[in-house]
Amino acid sequence: LGSAPSNDDIIYALYVNGFVQNANANLFGQEADFWQYDFGTDSWTDYSSKLPDEAGNNSQGNDPFAVQGGYDLIVSVKPDDENFVVIGGTNVYKIEDLQNDAEFLRIGGYNSNNGYALYERGGDTHHPDIHMLKFNPNDFNILFSGTDGGVHRTDDVNASTVTWTNLNNNYQ
């Protein structure tokens, strides 16, 4: 669950839907569903169709949106914008305008849906298997991620190309 700090009426639910990708059987699909609840109107909105399924190749555990049975599953909302949502599964994605943008965009984890190289866009590499996404309470453009590869920070989650800094200080 992820609450919207800028609007107490909004909460998001990202959860395992029971589908399991299987490359051997050529079965690929979303392993989660994504809904928004509005306490003010007492209504649920299904945004599952906006979960990432990148054009081109499918890679089991990478694309479409994969969560490894819930091992990787997190949702966080930008504190100053109830429609700016980041989610983590195997990879980390953002959607800046949930109401109008078509789909979440990859900003970390694996480099692309064409394999399993680590994400790298001008900064340090970013590791897959996302367990924590937390906005800096003093600067809402800064996002921290906790992954199987440690802790990383981006200083501009709004950037068209998100880069990460590794904060592990050479820890293994």
What's the pLDDT tens digit per position in 53-87?
Answer: 999 889 999 999 999 989 999 999 999 999 999 99
Per-residue tokens: 170: 């050479």
134 forms bridges with which residues in the sheet?
A: 144
- On whether the CB atoms of residues 161 and 142 are closer than 8 A, the answer is no
Of 172 and 101, the one with more pLDDT: 101
Distances (CA, A) of 120 to 47, 79, 81, 95: 28, 26, 27, 19
> How far is the C-alpha of 63 from the C-alpha of 113, rounded, in Å?
6
Work out the pLDDT band at 165, boundaries 50, 70, 90.
very high
For range 84-111, the mean pLDDT: 97
| pLDDT of 126 higher than 80 | yes
> What does the pLDDT average to over 119-131?
93
